[in-house]
Structure 1
Amino acid sequence: MLSRQDVTDILAEPKIAETKIIDLANIKTILNLYSENDDKLKFKLQITQSDKIQFKLTNHHHFNTVGLLRLDYKGRHKNPENITENVPDILHKYVGKIFDINEPHIHIYFEGYDIKWAMPLDEYGFPVKKISSVSDIEDAVKSFQKEINLKSELSFSLPLFR
């Protein structure tokens, strides 16, 4: 189990991607990442779109098998009903909150909960508030890249039709 400080340190660790191209025609892209300072530290960035809901996007950052941060546009989610000392005060008002598909949110790892807690993007301060175009998807991925300290310059292969 990771502490909050562990997660903060892991997110701050500079990362490099093995592959730097994201094909937005694919429903799912998984990029293998490794630490810029220690190539034994492995991470993943998973970018998932929906083939049924236009501009539904999930960006998921893993360390080993542990999800650390997940960004959801047009995804549904319900926060836990209980609070422990590991849940910061800023999330207490979201206990049991149900996020509908029109509420973009970000999931954050907390000890004992993994990434079951989420908060609205507005309150988190994430710059891309909604997605309504392929350009917005690129912006969201690039902004998420900064959140996880991915140093590689990613390029996007755009779909012919969307």
Structure 2
Amino acid sequence: MNADRAAWEQRSSIRVVSPVQPRKLAKVPFVELADGRLQGVVSSGSDIERVYVSSFTAGTHAYSCSTNNNRPCGALPSGSSPCKHLHLLAAEAVLQYGLDRVARYLRVDVGDGASSGADLVSRMDGQVERAPAAMVFSRFLRHLNYLEVPDTTVPIPEMHWFPALGAVR
């Protein structure tokens, strides 16, 4: 093991990868590539109190969309195509991570002409498959709690792991 890696493993912060392009958080406040899925939280277009947990599974391209209280998305009857929440998720993921990275993670061949989340979704042929929403929604809520922590220069023990910009060189 080289010395640089050993030093990195002993730090309690990591470098945050900046978004590829700026994105607005109102429609898709949370997006991640985790647990073998592109997954996130998407705001409802009709009810300010409702959000959807949407995901695409890597490899199979199965997709899922349900409300935060685990009710299936009404626009996603079995055998249909991805709903607007899934399209919004893919578009924001491309802004956050870049098309190439998202396509590699999901194992999608996007070809040369692709440039957007819509291109990504059009090249997947998955089916509806219910995915667990509770863990994604829980992580989203945990991230929201960290936004409410008051500014301080004193170490906060439960945040020792939290990524810091520019911490790793």
State the TM-score, normalizing by the size of structure 1: 0.30
Structure number with larger C-alpha Rg: 2
Greater RCO (Cα-Cα under 8 Å, separation 6 or more): 2
Higher strand share: 1
State the TM-score, normalizing by the size of structure 2: 0.29
Higher helix share: 2
